[in-house]
Amino acid sequence: MTRLPRRAAALASGVAAALALSAPVPASAAPALSKMDQFALVAAGSGARAEVYLDGDPAALAKAVRANGGEVSDTAPGRVRATLPGAALPALAANRAVREIRQPIRPIPMVVSEGVPLTNSPAWHNAGGKGAGAKVGVIDIGYGRLAAARTAGEVPASATVHNGRCGTEHISSHGTTMAEVVHDMAPEAQLFLACVVDTMDFDDAAEWLRQQGVHIVTVALGFPGTGRGDGTGEDVEGAKAPANVVRQLRAAGVLVVAAAGNEGDKHLGGRLLGSDADGWQYLNGNAQGQGFSVSSGGTVTVELKWDAWPRTAVDFDLYVMSTPAKPSGLNDPALGGRYSIRAQKGTSGGLSPVETVTFTQPSDAPGTYWAYLKWNGGARDMRYDLTVHGPAHGLSYTTPAQSIAEPASSPYALAVGAITPANQQSGGQAEGYSSRGPTVDGRVKPDLTALTNVSSYSGGSAPGATLGGTSVAAAHVAGAAAVYRGGTDLDAEHLRTLLLDAAGRQGRDNTLGRGTLHLGQHRALAAPTGNGYTPLTVQNRVLNTYSPEGGHQRPFEPGETYTLPIPGLPADAQAVVLTVTGMHAEEFTSLSITPDVSKPAGPVPTVDVRKGQIRSETVTATLNPVDKVIRIHNSHSKVNLSIDVLGYYSGGSASLFFPVRRPFRLHGPATIGANAQIGVIARGVQGIPAAATAVAVNVTTTSAGEPTEIEVFGTRRTASWTSTPYPGGKTTTSVLVPVGADNAIKLYNARGSATVTVEVTGWFEVRSGGARYVPLRHTVHQYSSGNATGAGALSSGLPSGTPVEIPVTRRDGVPGNATGAVVTASVRLAGQATDIDVWQQEHGNTGFAPLSTEALLPLSASGHPVRNNAFVTGLGPSGALTLWHSAGQAHLRGYVHGYFLGGTP
């Protein structure tokens, strides 16, 4: 049965009366009424003026609103916010310009200060580090008790307020509490306080803060159902969707600190389990109802979303019952109007995959409820998330993972979880309610954890009450960022990096992120200047599991982590360039290199080795800043390994990087015979200067007569294999190779014959005007096509010929002025041979293909990458790369290991 007849029958049989409509509604009106959510139906019945969202063409909507006696208060690309008589809503819904009429999406405060000493702020305060010159914005739902807080000195009198549409009576004091915490942390920072009522106000508040020149914004709010969780928002709001507003703030140089959410113990999610014959979904085994309790007087929002963004015809409905039984119909007394049945299936082009129910529990007693999900058509093999926002507890089933709130899930936001002072001091865990990652596209969240359950003058039921939640934690981090920013010109990504590095935790996870907020000892702060490069004339082998070199004369075991010192480096070395070769794995395995002992909380590609094969990759590895070592992590199977050092980045190294805007062919295609080598002039040709010390090249090998090894070197061969091609395939490897005294680089082929092509992406030279390298402590996972359509599930892959933009800068520690980057492209489960082209967005596709793969049969369901290549590239002013592949479908991933500063973009 389709949605419209079902709903029409329900309305015609008396549901309209249950919703306070003045008279039963004829079934013929159902097509129009199906565009109205439950909030709009109730407003229509009451006849009172109501504020609603209307989705469709804004110009046509505005005209229709005025024709029905209403006023438009804001617009977005596919939405208007309007106030009009409730009785006019059915007629408005009948207008063809209207896709949907729904309740405005209200923000939810993340609330469930002793925190200052535990962050070491007093040491900074005593040394004069109080945030003078820093401007901090607070976006919140209200600033009640602000006058009293100013009088008491808890909020500075100079704080500027933009109250927007919030009004002045019966308003929350949540925002005032956030301002208190920021002021405690950074007492000389200038505060700007912006109030919001719904999602469309959020953009207005952000714009006002941009106009004030703020450096930091704290967002202690969540906006249910407004985005997928990967940094993209509802398409009807376009740039005004909360996730997109956060991205715009970051693009404007503002550090956005967002509360991770208080839904760690109020979230249930995963793959949909199927349903009974009537479409009622199973949530846990054969259980279909999600039970929960609501505090007396509490307002909660139950949110259901499924991973079919941005619009879908896949249709689910959400019902909240006061008894543990599925509703018999929309007029079931136990349902009481608590349902959401948006017409995804019945709307041309579909609607966003979200249903929300908001209700308030009577103040005389708590209540218990059960949420039920009903499927009405379309594919069901996808991820869902069912979350109860607000003062709810005692959920029947919970999955803390992937509970990060919107917009904290954005890669452009610094998401903050919550930990109590007692747990912070004892090394304990985050609060149970503190939302956890990973995000829907596989990124680690939260980024950081900070203190909660601290006293507040304006929070709680009386001055001095204790207030908790990730909102308080986020305000601590925003204040800490202001302390760092005071008296400096540090940009958002530098502030982010300082905050994460000072947390002092090796590794990261989806509970604590990088650790708990701590400013560290007072010190002079400055933006990183980067490192020059020193290429080694002859590669230096530091590990060989077939010999004593490196102290590991045996295969690596599954799950093993090994610490490898790198000898011969100067004290200021920060990264090393390595050739890593995996050999003769018993089964497929993946080798990763990180600076920390803890295993990476997510994919960090280095070398993926198939059973019985040899694979080599060039890796730029960040050194542990304390002991100058690397850690090697092996995943699945026994494997042998060799590692050679090609060079290192250090403060004292003199060679700087000069990227080319459009990679060019230096040599080939040329055939190399067995046990033979060729020389390629790499100085004084095609713009490469005569003083170049090393060149960044991409070597592509085809037509291998048999399995062989290719070594690219400058002076002397060392049996350090740059590339390991196989017959019938096409292998690409990027490498930084020193230029020999004869102005040439050499390529050696071990067996059979092979055809090679050499392309140049840049060079290193000892002169001013070049770029210097800044390694990232943790590799950043920037893009995954496998997550682009299904919450980590493997879709059919990215079709060939589909350009994908990968933003590199202004996120995850990479500043907006980066002029180059070390990037890994990774492909898995390619059904046929394909080339992956990468180009700077400003300069177009040159045919530079740093990654190619032979046709590979699918591996196990674990979906490990089967081919990686790390390459050095320049970046244009946009800071973005475009990635594209040539044939069939493939799953592509993009990672960033570090960036370059200076030189010519």
The residue annotated as part of the active site, out of 37, 140, 201, 204, is 140
828 and 890 in contact (C-beta within 8 Å)?
Answer: yes
Q: Crossing angle of helices 470-485/174-185, nearest 10°?
A: 40
Q: Maximum distance among all alpha carbons in the chain? A: 93
Centre a 10 Å sphere on the Cβ of residue 500 and count the other Cβ atoms it contains: 21
Helix axes 199-211, 242-251, angle to 10 degrees: 10
Tokens representing 163 are 């109250």
- Residue 202, CA distances (Å) to 126, 177, 553, 727 in order: 36, 19, 59, 57
Contact predicate 275/405, CB 8 Å: no
The closest alpha carbon to 563, from 643, 617, 618, 639, belongs to: 643
> Rounded distance, CA 37 to CA 204, Å?
26
First to last CA, the chain: 59
> CA-to-CA distance for 683 and 873, rounded, in angstroms?
19
**Contact status, residue 559 vs residue 643, Cβ threshold 8 Å:** no
Sheet hosting strand 573-583, strand order edge to edge: 532-544, 640-650, 573-583, 614-622
CB 607 within 8 A of CB 616: yes
Measured at the CA of 318, the angle between CA 317 and CA 320, to 5 degrees, comes to 150
Q: Which of 340, 471, 650, 723 is catalytic?
A: 471
Q: What burial class does residue 279 get, using C-beta atoms within 10 Å of its C-beta: 0-12 exposed, 13-18 middle, 19+ buried?
A: middle
Cβ neighbours of 323 (radius 10 Å): 14
In the numeric block, the tokens 């980057």 are attached to 821
CA dihedral 468, 472, 473, 474 (to 10 degrees): 150
Interatomic CA distance for residues 97 and 92, integer angstroms: 9
Tokens of 787: 């997550």
Catalytic-residue membership of 140: yes
Token pair recorded at residue 838: 């990468």
Amino acid, single-letter form, for residue 748: Y
For residues 224 and 198, what is the distance between their CA atoms, to the nearest angstrom?
A: 11
Q: Yes or no: say if 291 and 324 are a contact pair by the CB < 8 Å rule.
A: yes
**Options 125, 174, 215, 494, the catalytic residue:** 174
Active site residue 835: no
Torsion of CA 588, 788, 511, 290, to 10 degrees: -110
Element (H, E) at 629: strand 629-634
Q: Are 381 and 301 in contact (CB under 8 A)?
A: no
What are the C-alpha distances in Å from 714 to residues 515, 616, 694?
43, 18, 9
Measured from the Cβ of residue 553, the count of other Cβ atoms closer than 10 Å reads: 12
Q: Specify the 3-state DSSP secondary structure of 524.
A: coil
**Which residues lie closer than 8 Å to 847 by C-beta, 6 or more apart?**
837
How far apart CA 262 and CA 220 sit, in angstroms, is 11
Beta-carbon contacts of residue 98 (< 8 Å; ≥ 6 apart): 35, 54, 55, 56, 61, 64, 92
Q: For this structure, is 812 an active site residue? A: no
Residues with catalytic roles: 140, 174, 471
